[in-house]
Amino acid sequence: MKIKTLFQLLAVPVLLAVFALTLSACQTTPAAPAETTNEASGGDAAAETTLTVWGFVWTADWLDALAPAFEAEHPGVTVKVERFEYDPYQDMVLTTLASGEGVPDVVTLDPMWAGDLIRGGTVQPMEKADSELPVADFVPGGWNLYAWQGTQYGIPLDLDFNLMFYRKDVYGTAMEELGMTEFPTNTDDYLALAKQVTEDTGKPAIILFQGDYYAWYQSFLAPMGGNLINDAGTEYIYNSPEAVDALQLYSDVANTYEVGKLWDGDVDGDPMIALSNNEAMAIMYGSWFATEMASGAPDMAGQWAIAPLPWGKEGREFTAATGGACLSIP
């Protein structure tokens, strides 16, 4: 599967700086003691420090990749990355940090539950983040996701983008039939392509999830320029004109243009099976889905490609990114 991981798209020097700031802060954090031993060598005492970092699934991969460079820049420091599956990890982090027992030096948090930990006082403020990191290199939405009352409590490790995963052979054939040279970047062109795919295959051009906030909010509302709350964070605005247009398009793709299949996991089962059985030709999902496809449908390696979501007008400035995991200090 020729899909770039999001890690390949990130600036590694920036992440190394993030790691340095986070881990150096741990060394002076009473709540997160590091394991230290002294060994005599030629009469000099050499301190060896082990810093424990918790990560879940793909974030642990990135931490493993970053650790050797950090260790090379900080002799005597060993980074121990502990890996967990996502679902049990959430419960474990909430329980462990709340109890204060057995906490790691650095913890990876998901934005969906980081807020409770920040407000609950279980992670340290990073008061030097604004002065010691290149804040302008971060996407503001991701950076601000971990700030509260003017203080930073987490440093973004990645960004979650909703992407179009599509069968490049099927879509490629339809694009040739329509004279397209690249994947569409606006609503009208994509609908034309999806109609051609549906006619060619007799199958839905795309899966549309039901009962999942990615289906409307991150798949349609975000790229079309809408939001759930105003910029000040004081008012819900999900009835805005942009939101109404996004919801209407979400419905029309399935019911009016008849190129999408509404998918209910409880009724329809695992969408991976439909994709593997050629029952659907594309799906909108978070960037992490590349890993799931590689493990869930290994026999389809090389058949899939990715593209930014096409919804909205040509040349729009909006994306389908709503933040991602962060590094915090218990």
Contact 129, 21 (CB under 8 A): yes
Residue of 24, 52, 55 whose CA lies nearest to 126: 24
The continuous run of DSSP H or E covering 116 comes out as helix 111-119
DSSP state of 174: H
DSSP state of 133: S
- On whether the pTM is more than 0.75, the answer is no
The tens place of each residue's pLDDT in the chain, 330 residues long, gives 333 333 333 434 545 665 666 656 655 444 444 554 444 334 444 568 899 999 988 888 889 988 999 999 999 999 999 999 888 998 899 889 888 889 999 999 988 888 888 888 889 999 888 888 888 888 777 888 888 888 899 998 888 788 999 999 999 999 999 999 999 999 999 999 999 999 999 999 999 988 766 678 888 998 898 888 887 778 888 889 999 999 999 999 999 999 999 998 888 888 888 888 889 999 998 887 887 888 788 888 888 999 999 999 998 887 777 678 899 999
Contact 323, 140 (CB under 8 A): no
